[in-house]
C-alpha cells in the first residue's frame, strides 16, 4: 500500500464524518490556506533540498501530481485537516491556545511517524523542526479571529 495515499484516505474519511456542512463556507478558507502552505513548503523543501518524500508514486501512474515535489497527498490532507482545525477551534482565547498546541503536537507526531517509517527523509532539516507548524497554526487562528469570524476586540 502507498503510505501517502493511505494517510490521505484516512484524513478524507475523517473529513467526511466530522464535517459540519453549515459552516463549511467559512472553514474552507482554513483548508485552502493549509493546502497552499503545504504546497509552498513542499516546493521550498525541494528547491533547498531540505527533505524528500519516498514512495510517493508507488503503484501509481507516473504523474507530476504524485511526484515528491508537489506530493498531492500531503496537500490533500493539509486541506482536510485545515478545514477541521478551524471548525473545532473554540472561541475562548485560552482554549484556542490549548487547541492549537494539541494540533501542533499531532502534526509533529504524524511527521515523526513518517520519519520513523522512512516515508520522509530529512536531509538538511530535522523532524523536531517540524514543530514550526505551531507558528503557522497560530497565524491561521489570527486570520480566523480577525477576518473569518470577525470577533470584536475588547481593547486592542
67/55 Cα distance (integer angstroms): 9
Residue 27 · residue 83 · CB < 8 Å: yes
All three cell numbers of 44, joined, read 521550498
Work out how close the CB of 49 gets to another protein at its nearest, in angstroms, rounded to a whole number: 6
Q: Which listed residue (10, 48, 58, 95) binds another protein by CB under 8 A?
A: 48
147 binds another protein (CB under 8 A): yes
101 binds another protein (CB under 8 A): no
Q: Which listed residue (12, 29, 112, 125) binds another protein by CB under 8 A?
A: 125
Number of residues that bind another protein (CB under 8 A): 37
Closer to another protein at the Cβ: 16 or 156?
Answer: 156
63 binds another protein (CB under 8 A): no
- Which helix H or strand E contains 121, and what residues bound it? strand 120-122
139 binds another protein (CB under 8 A): yes
98 binds another protein (CB under 8 A): no
The values of phi and psi at residue 53, to 5°, are -90, 145
152 binds another protein (CB under 8 A): yes
- Which helix H or strand E contains 96, and what residues bound it? helix 93-116
Residue 78 · residue 38 · CB < 8 Å: yes
The values of phi and psi at residue 51, to 5°, are -150, 165
Q: Which residues bind another protein (CB under 8 A)?
A: 37, 40, 44, 47-50, 91, 93, 96-97, 122, 124-126, 129, 132, 134-136, 138-143, 145-147, 149-156
Amino acid at each position: 500500500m502507498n503510505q501517502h495515499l493511505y494517510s490521505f484516505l484516512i484524513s478524507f474519511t475523517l473529513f467526511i464524518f466530522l464535517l459540519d456542512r453549515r459552516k463549511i463556507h467559512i472553514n474552507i478558507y482554513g483548508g485552502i490556506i493549509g493546502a497552499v502552505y503545504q504546497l509552498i513548503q513542499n516546493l521550498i523543501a525541494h528547491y533547498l533540498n531540505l527533505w524528500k518524500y519516498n514512495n510517493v508514486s508507488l503503484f501509481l501512474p507516473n504523474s507530476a501530481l504524485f511526484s515528491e515535489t508537489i506530493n498531492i497527498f500531503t496537500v490533500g490532507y493539509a486541506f482536510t485537516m485545515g478545514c477541521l482545525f478551524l471548525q473545532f477551534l473554540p472561541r475562548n482565547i485560552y482554549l484556542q491556545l490549548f487547541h492549537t498546541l494539541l494540533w501542533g503536537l499531532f502534526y509533529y507526531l504524524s511527521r515523526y511517524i513518517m520519519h520513523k517509517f522512512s516515508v520522509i527523509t530529512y536531509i538538511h532539516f530535522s523532524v523536531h523542526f517540524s514543530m514550526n507548524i505551531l507558528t503557522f497554526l497560530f497565524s491561521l487562528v489570527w486570520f480566523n479571529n480577525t477576518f473569518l469570524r470577525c470577533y470584536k476586540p475588547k481593547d486592542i
